[in-house]
Amino acid sequence: MFAPRSLAAVLVALLTLASACGGSSSDATASPDAGTSAAAADDSASEGTPGVRVVSVDDALAIAENPPADLVILDVRTADEFAEGHLEGAMMIDFYAEDFAAQLGELDPTVPYLLYCRSGNRSGQAAAMMADLGFVDVADVDGGISAWTGKGFPVVK
């Protein structure tokens, strides 16, 4: 009987530890470096570090105005939304298209992408798909084109 109780105690301890490592704000108080490393990771993402990441509209504007070589601006809204206004030079793949995943799979995963939708929901899902497909540099615009136009940044029709 002692072994099952010990096993149960170990499992409870492991589950408690695992839930504590979930990224709550208490992590910063557990170790002085824990919050610093998380902040550093957030800072590096906003500075344009390659990978699949969310960027502010200000960072997105900086990327669009000073684009890396081969930048693809990818709009994942519908054709009607795209016609209402989009970022200059953007290509569109409709997130709701039946073959959306296949169309993403046809893109070059080694070039940089600036990805957006209306509010960030569809582009967030697309970014996760792109990560799964091995894309190496995807900047997903936080708040989408709504945040972009909310700042008065330019669109073309």
User: Quick one: pLDDT at residue 49?
Assistant: 62
Tell me the catalytic residues.
Answer: 117
Tens of pLDDT along the chain (157 residues) come to 444 444 444 434 433 333 333 333 333 333 333 333 333 334 434 444 679 999 999 999 999 999 999 999 999 999 999 999 999 999 999 999 999 999 999 999 999 999 999 999 999 999 999 999 999 999 999 999 999 999 999 999 9
Contact yes or no for 45/53 (Cβ under 8 A):
yes
Q: Could you give the angle at the alpha carbon of 105 between the alpha carbons of 84 and 136, nearest 5°?
A: 90
**What's the one-letter identity of residue 28?**
A
User: Quick one: pLDDT at residue 123?
Assistant: 98
Strand order in the sheet with 51-55: 51-55, 137-141, 113-116, 72-75, 91-92
User: Quick one: pLDDT at residue 43?
Assistant: 40
User: Quick one: pLDDT at residue 34?
Assistant: 35
Which among 79, 76, 74 has a CA at the least distance from the CA of 108? 74
